[in-house]
Amino acid sequence: MERIGDHAAIGNGRAAALVSRGGSVDWLCWPRFDSPSVFAALVDDAAGRWTLAPTAPFRSERRYLPGTNVLETRFVTASGALTVTDFMPVASPEEQRRLLLPDHELVRLVSCEGGSVELATVFEPRPDYGRERPRLRDAGELGLRAETRSGLLTLRADLPLAIDGAARATGRAVLRAGETRHLSLSYADEWPAILPPLGAPTREALARTVRWWQGWVGQLRYDGPAREAVVRSALALKLLVYAPSGAVVAAATTSLPERVGGELNWDYRFCWLRDAALTVRALFGLGFRDEAEAFVSWLLHSTRLTQPELRVLYDVHGNAPARERTLDHLAGHRGSRPVRVGNGAADQLQLDVYGEVIDAVTHFVRSGGTLDRETQRMLCALGDQVCRSWQGPDEGIWEPRSGRGHNTHSRVLCWTALDRLLELHAKGHLCSAPVELFERSRAAIRRDVEEHAWSARLGSYTARLGGEELDAALLLLAWYGFEDARSERMRATFSRIRERLGARDGLLYRYRSGDSPGEGAFGICSFWGVEVLALGAGSAQEARDTFERLCRFSNDVGLFAEEIDPVTGEALGNFPQAFTHVGLINAALSLEQRLRGEGTLPHAVRSRAELEEAGA
Amino acid sequence: MSVGSWLLWGFVATIVLTTIMSGTQGLRLTRMNLPYMLGTMFTPSRDRAKLLGFAVHLVNGWVFSLLYVAAFEAWGRATWWLGASIGLVHAAFVLTAGMRILPDLHPRMASETHGPTVTRQLEPPGFLALNYGVRTPLSALAAHAVFGAILGAFYRVASG
């Protein structure tokens, strides 16, 4: 089984596939990110894959075509070289009106660059996480068909394919320099299938897809360090946007382990409100206004059914995610069991989500958006809910399964929620807010955090009020403007976090406790470290050096998982992970502003009202 | 012939037929979508095809219900089971002859023998529309039987 970081992702805004360095599609869920899998070899060798590679020993190198999510893998053998181009076609709205296009398609285009190479393909669909072995049928010119319980898979290729008794199809062909073969796998669940012809139309689909991605990424505004990593992160983030609703899923996979061989295997194919503000800031910051607005719109729409209470996570259409269960028939990635689908964190209480959602809406307003009356009422109701609940314990940002506590990060996010509501009110975007109540509660939260979450003995803020543990999420105190990054307390906290949670080259663990023994350094926490430096806790050069060192922990095509093994640099956890790429983008944006000599970010400045209140 | 009764119940029966077919699609019993298939005769755009196809399907339903009404008038009576019987014959015709000739009539439908081309990419239905799922014939028979039963039960024969 190939490792997590040996994969690259392709997608079309509805679903994503992971392709290994060896030319195997090891993960694909259709028709959407959280659907049951068609290929799941990433979590069990017997759970389906689609390989396409030379029959002779080879070495491979790969890249994304510039500015796209089109993957190109070059296989070099003793007799010649093959290039496989993998992509899921996308098209502009105008092209969608003009052309009949399948909803779901994965295209593999293979060409021989030199010499003569024999290639082999093995197609083993095992839908429903490997529980289904569909009967393959040769439908002649219409291709190979596999009627599954959820829909029809059609494989078409311009090389001969044979069905064997093991519910799989195989094919071989010898390609000489300049020769090309095309393979297309499409999926239809609700409609008659669309069967795109092979050959020139396949190459046109590739050209359309390249044009679409390059057109999208052309909107990106960023001129700071490690631009290539930022562009790749934006493309990875876009891969995880569910286009029909604007939701951003946390990752494309389930149950890739945070510790190989361990039990920390979760389903991340849902949307966490916790990620909202950071994601919206990243999208607006890079100039992707449409995506940012669509995401805010999804936030407001999806939370409507549960307001004023907010759930921790939702599916791409704003419904409760499936109940968490384990798939005991799967061996897990490199023996990491169990494999879970659904997510039990949905039932947790995480008070930080109020601050995240309200801060995301504030970013939207700062970027020129306006709020209708219903949204204004909804925001005020969220504020009331915060005033009622901020003093209680919750599970907190890291979703431990070990119970609730008084988490500093959650409390600061409650402060953020009220602070932003007061800002919106002061700017005339919130007509009938109970200003006095919000101000009183905001001041009370600040007092509570400053008195009880600060440990004089440790010289740092602490993970929980009255505790002595550290948590990398405390770095966000500067991000949300609760503390100035240059303040004595923030610098001291950062120093303690580096001392106790730091690994090599700027990597940070999220915490050290019994909740997740043996897990890797946390990607986004490491980038939060850069951001605190960029916001003023360190020099611009230190921030830049740390940032550039961290960017080198991506895999060969620039993708990050949730965590990084500090010893080997290996990717751990679900992949690719939106949160890590959001962290990279936000760190880059703060760094760019710092290098330009621009002032602190608007979100990191205390509101005027509070400054006056504090007598500053 | 009672024109008002035909227009009303022809419309109702068509809506119910469409609802049943959409329901069976949603339940993954079939991928046959008549409005979409009709719509793609006129446009490749999925969204426009659905809308246009729905309008064409509605008109088709009315036109077909005229044949049912003609049979009721000829027999001098209309009952639900007579209507359902015509519906079953209607569905059998659509599934056999109709689906066989569809690839020749539909400008965007691929042929089973020649496969897809640049202009013809829509999956052909095949015998009994089995390409759209093994339960497609059952879904079509049930929907058309209900279509006929509604007309038979509610249409008022003018001569009766």
One-character DSSP codes across A375-439:
HHHHHHHHHHHHHHHTTS-B--TT--TT--B-BHHHHHHHHHHHHHHHHHHHTTS-TT--HHHHH
Among candidate residues A162, A184, A217, the one where a domain is terminated: A217
In a domain, B159, yes or no: no
Same domain, residue pair A239 and A92: no
Confidence class for position B120, pLDDT limits 50, 70, 90? very high
Same domain, residue pair A194 and A274: no
Three-state DSSP class for residue B24: helix
Spatial CA neighbour of A410 closest among A458, A459, A358, A355:
A355
Same domain, residue pair A27 and A124: yes
3-state DSSP percent of chain A in helix, strand and coil, to 5: 35, 20, 40
Among candidate residues A217, A252, A270, the one where a domain is terminated: A217
Instruction: Dig out the tokens for B136 from the structure.
Output: 């497609």
Three-state DSSP class for residue A255: coil
Same domain, residue pair A541 and A601: yes
Same domain, residue pair A557 and A525: yes
Collect all residues of chain A within an 8 Å Cβ-Cβ radius of residue B127: none
Question: How far does B92 lie from chain A, in Å, by closest CA?
Answer: 20
Beta strand A16-20 pairing with A24-29: antiparallel
Instruction: Answer yes or no: do B121 and A194 touch at CB < 8 A.
Output: yes
Q: What is the largest CA-CA distance in chain B?
A: 55
Q: What CATH number corresponds to the domain at position A422?
A: 1.50.10.10
Among candidate residues A168, A192, A217, the one where a domain is terminated: A217
Report the predicted TM-score, pTM, of the whole model to 2 decimal places.
0.91
Please tell me the predicted confidence (pLDDT) of residue B156.
Answer: 87
**Which of B22, B50, B106, B123 to mutate to test binding with chain A, by most A CBs within 10 Å of its CB?**
B123
Same domain, residue pair A211 and A296: no
Please tell me the predicted confidence (pLDDT) of residue A606.
Answer: 44
Q: How many CB pairs under 8 A join A and B?
A: 87
The secondary element (H helix, E strand) that includes residue A113 is: strand A104-124
In a domain, A222, yes or no: no
Instruction: Answer yes or no: do B31 and A192 touch at CB < 8 A.
Output: yes
Please tell me the predicted confidence (pLDDT) of residue A435.
Answer: 94
For B33, which residue in chain A has the nearest alpha carbon?
A: A191
Collect all residues of chain A within an 8 Å Cβ-Cβ radius of residue B28: 149-151, 189
Write out the residue range of the structural domain in which residue A175 sits.
Answer: 4-217
In a domain, A556, yes or no: yes
Q: What CATH number corresponds to the domain at position A84?
A: 2.70.98.10
Instruction: Answer yes or no: do A196 and B37 touch at CB < 8 A.
Output: no
The span from the CA of A318 to the CA of A307, in Å, is 12
Write out the residue range of the structural domain in which residue B127 sits.
Answer: 3-154
Instruction: Answer yes or no: do A194 and B28 touch at CB < 8 A.
Output: no
For A194, which residue in chain B has the nearest alpha carbon?
A: B122
Spatial CA neighbour of A417 closest among A394, A396, A445, A392:
A445
Asked whether this complex has an ipTM greater than 0.90, the answer is no
Please tell me the predicted confidence (pLDDT) of residue A277.
Answer: 79
Please tell me the predicted confidence (pLDDT) of residue A362.
Answer: 94
Mean pLDDT by 10 residues, chain A (616 residues): 95 97 98 97 97 97 98 97 97 90 95 96 97 94 93 96 91 97 95 93 96 96 95 96 92 94 91 86 91 88 83 89 93 96 87 93 91 91 95 88 89 97 94 92 97 95 93 95 95 96 93 74 96 94 96 97 94 96 96 83 47 45
Three-state DSSP class for residue B135: coil
A196 touches chain B (CB under 8 A): yes
As for how many domains chain A has, the answer is 2
Same domain, residue pair A103 and A177: yes
Same domain, residue pair A257 and A359: yes
Please tell me the predicted confidence (pLDDT) of residue A406.
Answer: 94
Please tell me the predicted confidence (pLDDT) of residue A602.
Answer: 52
Instruction: Answer yes or no: do A98 and B44 touch at CB < 8 A.
Output: yes
B136 touches chain A (CB under 8 A): no
B99 touches chain A (CB under 8 A): no
In a domain, B160, yes or no: no
**What residues have CB less than 8 Å from B57, skipping those under 6 apart?**
B14, B18, B34, B35, B38
Q: What is the CB-side half-sphere exposure of residue A204 using CA atoms within 13 A?
A: 10
Same domain, residue pair A152 and A294: no
As for how many domains chain B has, the answer is 1
Same domain, residue pair A172 and A251: no
In a domain, B140, yes or no: yes
Find the angle CA(A415)-CA(A247)-CA(A63) to the nearest 5 degrees.
115
In a domain, A153, yes or no: yes
Same domain, residue pair A253 and A165: no
Instruction: Answer yes or no: do A197 and B117 touch at CB < 8 A.
Output: yes
Same domain, residue pair A441 and A570: yes
Collect all residues of chain A within an 8 Å Cβ-Cβ radius of residue B46: 96, 101
Question: Could you give phi then psi for residue A254, rounded to 5 degrees?
Answer: -120, 145
Q: Which of A150, A151, A201 sits opposite B118 (nearest CB)?
A: A201
For A190, which residue in chain B has the nearest alpha carbon?
A: B31
Instruction: Dig out the tokens for A312 from the structure.
Output: 């921790």
The span from the CA of A376 to the CA of A382, in Å, is 10
Instruction: Answer yes or no: do B123 and A197 touch at CB < 8 A.
Output: no
